[in-house]
Amino acid sequence: MTDDAPIRVLIVDDHAVVRTGLKVFLDLQPDIEVVGEAADGSEGVAMARRLQPDVVLMDLLMPNMDGVTAIGRIKAEHPEIEIVTMTSFIEEEKVTSALEAGASGYVLKDAEAEEVAAAVRAAHAGEVHLDPAVARLLAQRMRDRKSPKDELAEPLTDREKDVLRLLGQGMSNKDIGSTLFITERTARTYVSNILGKLGLASRTQAALYAVEHKLVDAPGA
């Protein structure tokens, strides 16, 4: 895909009206193209495999296969595909389950249409995008934690800690490289090393880990 090619989006939602509304709005964006629609998680996994979209907009509660399961399967097969959860639910269990499965964004269905487009662009850029209400929920979770983990579970080098802090701020590899005066490729290598050392599956999990271990302020704090 060239730099000026549109971001290819797959919409997965069991409500046809929601899918149609999202498609109409997103197709109006000059840098976004909806390449497919799926009515449940199972169909979404199959279409992601066939269409290879850049970003998937994923509902959570659907027949045949729920969104969290679908996220996990898509990321296992195609780790390069970014996934933004779009749902009506903000319960902590659903938020953390979606993010831990590999989603890089969490947007509520009552969000402004422009925020949905912003979430798609952020995910495509390798950044973490959270609805403000979700960010506040995670921040409260960090504040309420009775026994916060102040020490890293595995030793990281000072430079890896710097990279982890920037991951916690939602930065892409390109932005990390610019901030630390290293190449994007080197930043990508650091991120890979961090995930391996900490036993994490995604940069979203790394961002949450950075917050939990007080390497960065909690979102919205």
Report pLDDT digits (tens) over 30-46.
999 999 999 999 999 99
Strand 7-12 and strand 55-58: pairing?
A: parallel
Where, residue-wise, is CATH 1.10.10.10 in the chain?
147-212
For the chain, the distance separating the N- and C-terminal CA atoms, rounded to the nearest angstrom, is 37
pTM above 0.75, yes or no: no
| Average pLDDT score over residue span 89-107 | 82
| Average pLDDT score over residue span 15-41 | 94
CA angle, corner 117, sides to 107 and 162, nearest 5?
A: 70
Contact 18, 43 (CB under 8 A): no
Predicted confidence at residue 147, as pLDDT, reads 46
Is a pLDDT exceeding 90 seen at residue 144? no
Predicted confidence at residue 221, as pLDDT, reads 45
Is a pLDDT exceeding 80 seen at residue 182? yes
Higher-scoring residue by pLDDT: 125, 149? 125
Where, residue-wise, is CATH 3.40.50.2300 in the chain?
7-140
Q: Name the CATH architecture for the domain at 7-140.
A: 3-Layer(aba) Sandwich (3.40)
Instruction: Report the amino acid identity of residue 85.
Output: T
Predicted confidence at residue 9, as pLDDT, reads 97
CATH of 147-212, one of 1.10.10.60, 1.10.10.10, 2.40.50.140, 3.40.50.300: 1.10.10.10
**Token pair 């996990």: residue:** 72
Q: Distance between CA 218 and CA 221 in Å, rounded?
A: 5
Predicted confidence at residue 10, as pLDDT, reads 97
Instruction: Report the amino acid identity of residue 171.
Output: M
